[in-house]
């Protein structure tokens, strides 16, 4: 006799498969840290519902608050923090607002840095380019302050590329991508940037390090994930 699967069992298996697809770096009853793959949304978009947020919401329906403490661009991979309750979320958000969270990104740039120090600060205010959405533009009159520390890690003369670390002091949309590509920034787009440079197999930008204080235990938490490029 054939017995049909229980719909609730199928839903449970689907949720298990979704959460199993995530690269979970750490999890306890209050927070999670995951390694987000590139080309996956942090939160639902206009035309695409599937995202880190929806996976977490489906897996933990009793979780409260906004869940995601911060976001990564769809094309950017790397470490993403999630809070399972609104109190933990608020505490972590305050750390981001107060800039006590330490973050580092690794990127590959299309070209070599010349006529500029190998370590420094990019300070270019950013605003939405309403005519060319979702592009951001440097705007000294109406743009929001945006600062990025950078440090050259390695130069590849043969491939004409530069490996670099970015330490964003602010968190504006496309901040690292614009600060890399703009002529008043590094004047070198990130490899694979289909908005500010040229399309490649992927955007070579990865959030590879984060350090913060646990919202409940007050323990200093440090996570790192090597860039996959």
| Active centre residues (catalytic) | 73
**62: region left, alpha or beta (phi > 0 left; psi from -120 to 50 alpha):** alpha
Element (H, E) at 26: strand 23-27
Separation of CA 171 from chain center: 10
| Distance in angstroms (rounded) separating the CA atoms of residues 206 and 176 | 11
Token pair in block for residue 203: 């955007």
Q: Residues 75, 177, 205, 218: is their CA dihedral positive or negative?
A: negative
Q: What angle do CA 73, 74, 77 make, to 5 degrees?
A: 80
Q: How many residues does the chain have?
A: 229
73 close to 178: Cβ distance less than 8 angstroms? no
Long-range contacts of 182-186 (CB under 8 A, 24+ apart): 182/124, 182/138, 184/124, 184/138, 185/122, 185/124, 186/109, 186/113, 186/116, 186/122, 186/150
């Amino acid at each position: 006799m054939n017995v049909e699967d229980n719909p609730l069992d199928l839903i449970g298996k689907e949720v298990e498969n979704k959460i199993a697809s995530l690269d979970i770096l750490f999890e306890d009853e209050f927070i999670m840290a995951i390694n987000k793959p590139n080309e996956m949304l942090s939160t639902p978009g206009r035309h695409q519902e599937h995202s880190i947020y929806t996976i977490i919401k489906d897996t933990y329906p009793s979780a409260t608050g906004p869940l995601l403490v911060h976001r990564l661009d769809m094309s950017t991979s790397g470490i993403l923090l999630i809070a399972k309750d609104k109190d933990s979320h608020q505490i972590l958000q305050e750390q981001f607002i107060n800039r006590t969270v330490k973050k580092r990104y690794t990127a590959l740039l299309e070209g070599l840095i010349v006529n500029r120090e190998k370590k420094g600060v990019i300070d270019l205010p950013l605003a939405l380019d309403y005519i060319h959405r979702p592009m951001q533009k440097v705007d000294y009159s109406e743009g929001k302050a945006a600062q990025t520390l950078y440090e050259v890690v390695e130069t590849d003369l043969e491939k004409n590329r530069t490996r670099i670390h970015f330490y964003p002091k602010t968190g504006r949309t496309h901040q690292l991508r614009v600060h890399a590509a703009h002529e008043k920034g590094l004047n070198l787009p990130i490899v694979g940037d289909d908005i500010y440079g040229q399309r490649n197999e992927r955007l070579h930008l990865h959030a590879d390090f984060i350090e913060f204080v646990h919202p409940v235990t007050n323990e200093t938490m440090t996570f790192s994930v090597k860039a996959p490029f």
